[in-house]
Each structure stands twice: as C-alpha cells, then as structure tokens.
Amino acid sequence: MKDFLAVADFSPEELQKLLDLAVELKNERQAGGNAPILQGKVLAMVFQKPSLRTRVSFDMAMRHLGGDAIYLSPAEIGLGKRESIADIARVLSGYVDVIMARVFAHEHVLGIAEWADVPVINGLSDYNHPCQALADALTIYERFNTLKDINVTYVGDGNNVAVSLMYISAKLGANFTIANPAGFDMSEDAIELGHEFAKESGSTITLLEDPHAAVQNAHVIYTDTWTSMGQEEEAKKREAVFPPYQVNAALVAEADPEVIVMHCLPAHRNHEITDEVADGPHSVLFPQAENRMHAQKAVLVHLLRDAK
C-alpha cells in the first residue's frame, strides 16, 4: 500500500509492524540518533488546518532521518480553490518524495492520493486521524506491552479521533468503549466497520452515554476537545451538553488503579480535562504527543523505504 490514509486500510499485522518499527526508531533516537535512512528525501506538508504537533513532529521526523520537509500554509496553496487538487498533487509529485496533507474534508486527501505519483499521508481529515491513532497505540503499547485485552475508554465527542482510536483498538485486540452525549455519536458506518474489526480480533466495542459506566475497569481513558476546529458555530450548544463528560479526578478514580489518561491535544483545560488530571500521575499527554514524531517516522520509513 503506497499511502497512509486511514487505519481501516491496514491489517492488524501491518499495524503491528508499524508499531514495532516506531519502537525501534524511538529507541535508536534515544540511544544517540537515527541513521539518515531518508537522506535526500523531501516531505511536502500541506495544511488547510494549522497544528503545532503535526507540523513540528513531521518536520523533526524527517530531520532525524536525514531528510527535509517543506511547510505549505493554507494561504500558499488554497487547496481546491486557488488551484485544483489534481493539479496540486501532480505538481508536488514532480518536486518531492512524499506528501502529508492536513485537511478538513476526507475527500480532499483522497483526491491528492488519487492524482499524486508519490506516497500521501493523511495528517488529519474529518473522517479519521490515522497518525494520531498510531501514536496512541504506541503510547498504550509502551505502557502495557500489548493492546490485546486492554480496555480503552473514550469519553466525549464521537469525532475523527474517536473513530481512529476505535479502529486501531479493535484491529489490535483492545476492547473499545465510548461514552458520548446523544446526538454526538460516531457515524453508523464507522461503528459497523469497527464491529467488523473487533469480531476479527476477538475484542469488543461498547457504546454508552454514561461516562461513569464507561470507565469501569478502564486501563486507558481518552478524551478530546468538545468543539473541534470548524465547529465553532456549535460551541455554545456543546458547552451546555458536555460538562458531565469532563475527565476529572473523580472520574479517573472509578477506573483501573493503573489507568493512563490520554488526550490528543490541544486541550481546553478545565473543560474536557482538568488541570489536576492533565498534570497528574495518570497523565501520559506529553509522552503521547512526543510519540506522534516516532510513529510518523515509522510511516515515513515504511512508505519511502520498506514499501518499495
């Protein structure tokens, strides 16, 4: 497979190989530095949505591996507006070795992949966030040495991050539970596909509205912002609905004693997660953020070296 567009595209074996490669590259970096195995390779980073973690983690991943990265802001490209997606993909294919696109609509990243002659990585779309999911799986894997039979609970909006987390949990054998308010569910299609993956791995998917029921026996509690970028007009409505889903010390105390708390960031502190939890002993927010870089190194190496 030449692209990295969705967790659903990869088999459990392929995802595990990516995790193992990420661990190897992370250990190598911590032991003194990565070998320059992507020397001479250049990544184009196409942004419709800004991001601290996506930009810096991809840029540094390429630098660590001996390559380079070029940042292209929304104003520089105007994806699908100033210039067609097909033309942008074909132009960039003549300049660079790999393209990462962080977009609003999933069809935009699919369009880039359709027309590009080089590998394309989904840095985020409204459908899913595969780079985040791989970093999340790496973080869980480091703590528990497996995802098999780990209880992963997501508390909050059934958004693109929740979908990716459900998929990678189900594929790698973790039991996934989500608690969200009525009307803020993942799509029926996403849930159906998640159940298919869970059936194949022998894991479970549980859909609840009660966050307290959801965190019982949880090894992982995961949350995200209540209002994502592009949903600003819904902010007032969401602020009225989501407070019972705040990840606070009382909720964490109901989970497994060794539970880890995760958030893809940026966090709206003391909204979806309290300072006490985000900075507390169960938090892995910042190792999780660092793992974006290591997981993405694995994706880059897979696409530019191993998939040849």
- At residue 12, the pLDDT reads 98
Q: Write the pLDDT tens digit of every residue in 197-241.
A: 999 999 999 999 999 999 999 999 999 999 876 677 788 899 999
State if pTM tops 0.85. yes
Q: What is the DSSP string of 23-60?
A: HHHHHHHHTT----TTTT-EEEEEESS--HHHHHHHHH
Which residue, chain included where needed, has tokens 């520089």?
Answer: 76
- At residue 79, the pLDDT reads 79
- Helices 130-144 and 12-30, interaxial angle, to 10°? 70
Amino acid identity, residue 286? F
Can you say how many angstroms the Cα of residue 97 is from the centroid of all Cα atoms in its chain? 22
Question: What is residue 217's three-state secondary structure?
Answer: coil
What residue segments make up the domains of the chain, in order of their start?
A: 7-129+293-306, 132-288
d(CA 223, CA 165): 11
Q: Compute φ and ψ for 58, nearest 5 degrees.
A: -70, -40
Residues with catalytic annotation? 102, 129, 132, 224, 264, 292
* Strands lying side by side in the sheet with 42-47: 68-72, 42-47, 98-102, 120-124
- At residue 154, the pLDDT reads 98
132-288 carries CATH number 3.40.640.10: no
Torsion angle, CA of 69/49/290/65, rounded to 10 degrees? -10
Q: Which residues of the chain have pLDDT under 70?
A: 1, 229-230, 307-308
- At residue 81, the pLDDT reads 79
CATH hierarchy code of domain 7-129+293-306:
3.40.50.1370
- At residue 306, the pLDDT reads 81
Is there a common fold for 7-129+293-306 and 132-288? yes
- At residue 1, the pLDDT reads 63
